[in-house]
A = this chain, B = another copy of it.
Amino acid sequence: MKKKQIDTLVLFITILGASTSVTAQPMRGPLVVSPQVNPDNTVIFRFLAPDAKEVKLSAQFENKLVPMTKDSTGIWSVTVGPVQPDMYPYHFIVDGIRVTDPHNTVIFPNENFQNSIVEITGDTPLIHTVLNVPHGTLSYRYYFSPELYIRPVVIYTPPGYEKNTDKKYPVLYLLHGSTDTEETWTKVGRANIILDNLIHQDKAVPMIIVMPYGRAYPVISKSSGSLRSWDNLQEFKKDFLNNLLPFIEENYRVKTDHNNRAIAGFSGGGGESLYLGLNNPDLFRWVCGFAPGMQREEFDRNNAVAFENPALTNQRLKMFWIGVGKDDGLYSVISDYLKVLDQKQINHETFITEGGHTWMNCKLFLTIVAQKLFKKA
């Protein structure tokens, strides 16, 4: 059974339900169902705006904005696709104003923009499809930092963690992109579901995944650019080493040796993961960058420890993995970085794929990496 949108197309609410929020906004007029994913992988998007002059759809499966048309009830709609099954960010542009889909509760957690998320499942479950398999637990926790006060972190523990009280697990620290939050890797990246499915298929080692908030707020403001900025790297490193790592090792049954500790990140968080991973060889033996944020003039500074002694780096790291899409704006600088790694004879695996700087690719990178992690003694 697939969990598809099976709601009635449009239901006219003629009587206000007694429990409608009376001080907020009553459910008056036509109630809109959006998005409606059809069995043939076409999708109908709808938006109620009787007085708008122009409504367009912006979706990451389309190369351009898609015009929507209005019906007699004031609902704008468009049918698109069939769409390649995946999860995609989208929003509406209503008379030039960007708006999320008000009837879709799946929202991309981000400090700089808002998108809704549509999931096209298709006939065959994907690796991020929520299935009836054993599920791990996603825990929302707080830890304390003397400089940054109370810090949020989301932690995935694999199926069976609560009951196997004698078992210890390897741990992956997984960092989000620059304006994302600690929720983006699960709400958009489905890291927990990907691991549930890979573990169920015996393709990944059961592991704990730690997803902290990657910006050293309030020391580093929310509007101060990429997570891989030098100032953020310094503050985040301090928080990571002094507060986050001890909190995890005190409160979770993680293996605490470097062979069982990995770090990975996307975009600005990929810049953080390379910086922390390559400069702290006693902590991490597995280092991954998913379209990692970087600049050419920062190569030497940010990779100082690894570049200083490539032979020792190769001896230490069990895996150094970089993935990027060919249409990613970072493809060029990452390609140059890979050349530098070659010149310095630093071992690394690369995965070059189609597509851009998207969470669709991000899920793919995690899926590949999760099948490799902690599999070398």
Contacts and interface: CB of A to CB of B under 8 A. Distances in A.
Contacts of A226: 17-20
Interface stretch (A37-45, A103-111, A276-284, A366-374): A103-111
Given A113-B25, A150-B132, A357-B23, A98 B102 contact: yes
Interface stretch (A77-85, A197-205, A217-225, A345-353): A217-225
Contact of A7 (B3, B107, B115, B223): B223
B114 A221 contact: no
A289 to B, nearest CB: 11
Interface in A186-232: 218, 221-229
Nearest to A228: B19
A178 interface: yes
> How would you classify the secondary structure of chain A's contact residues: helix, strand, loop or mixed?
loop
A21 B111 CA distance: 13
B97 A267 contact: no
A162 interface: yes
A103 B111 contact: yes
Number of this chain's copies in the complex: 2
B24 A60 contact: yes
A299 interface: no
A293 B18 contact: yes
Contacts of A377: none
A141 interface: yes
A122 interface: no
Contact of A178 (B17, B100, B105): B17
Contact of A18 (B130, B144, B327, B333): B333
Interface string A89-103: 100001111111011
Contacts of A135: 141-142
A144 B144 CA distance: 35
Contacts of A295: 18
B140 A23 contact: no
Nearest to A95: B95
Contacts of A1: 149
Nearest to A225: B17
Given A7-B221, A22-B330, A49-B96, 14 more contacts: A6-B221, A8-B221, A17-B229, A17-B268, A18-B226, A19-B271, A97-B99, A98-B99, A103-B112, A105-B109, A137-B139, A137-B141, A138-B139, A162-B251
9 contacts: A20-B329, A21-B357, A24-B115, A24-B358, A27-B179, A52-B95, A97-B99, A131-B150, A139-B139
